[in-house]
Amino acid sequence: MLDSLKGFGLTFAHMFRPQVTIKYPDVPHPTAPRYHGRHVLNRHPDGLEKCVGCELCAWACPADAIYVEGGDNTDEQRFSPGERYGAVYQINYARCIFCGLCIEACPTRSLTMSNEYELASDSRADLIFTKEQLLAPLLPGMEQPPHPMRLGDREADYYIAAVETPGASAGAERPQVSETQVQGGRA
């Protein structure tokens, strides 16, 4: 009898405390800035894909959730600045553990992770995202591939120019280091 009264008392005490309920999905909860969410295949400023179809992300994935087939670029059909591009790209989110090892393995910083976390689905087939679903949208000034290289005549122009002019290849540039930072031993 005494135990029942203790239980009712605890319930009664909680009735007057403020609620901490998050009003999801009406009010989405903000994520941390470095949250590992849905993957994004990035583009160069002219619209060409950064993915060169090297398959290093698939090799690095411990859950075997990434499938990549590389294809060869031609002068008539160019999808990326390199010799190759990712012709087929799939990520199976039923297997992905969101560890970020694929991001670390990507040599061109083509693959990044967004803050999007709403990936639930009733079907396993809907959890296999294709290249078209993963590609970043075309921004103003970008052209839908295939098209010739617009930022230079060589593949190196897409990556070397990014070091000299940050933002030329958004996401692939290195941070600028000033001489004072080098002399101070911070770089």
Residue 2 placed within a domain? no
Is this model's pTM higher than 0.85 or not?
Answer: no
Residue range of the domain that includes 145: 32-174
Give the closest residue to 169 by CA, choosing from 179, 178, 161: 161
CA distances from 153 to 39, 73, 82, 156, 177 (A): 30, 14, 11, 9, 27
What pLDDT score does 167 carry?
43
Is a pLDDT exceeding 60 seen at residue 176? no
- Mean of the pLDDT values across residues 108-135? 93
Position 15 confidence tier, pLDDT thresholds 50, 70, 90: confident
Is the confidence at residue 86, as pLDDT, over 80? yes
Query: Is 20 a domain residue?
Result: no
Q: Is residue 186 part of a domain?
A: no
Residue 103 in this model has a pLDDT that exceeds 90: yes
**Quick one: average pLDDT of 137-164?**
81
Query: Does any domain span residue 10?
Result: no
- Which domain CATH number covers 145? 3.30.70.3270
- C-alpha 32: how far from chain center: 15
Domains in the chain: how many in total?
Answer: 1
pLDDT value of residue 184: 46
Pick from 23, 96, 22, 83: nearest CA to 57: 96
Task: Convert the pLDDT of each residue in 30-84 to its tens digit.
Answer: 888 888 999 999 999 889 999 999 999 999 999 999 999 999 999 899 999 989 9
Q: Is residue 179 part of a domain?
A: no
Residue 71 domain-assigned (yes or no): yes
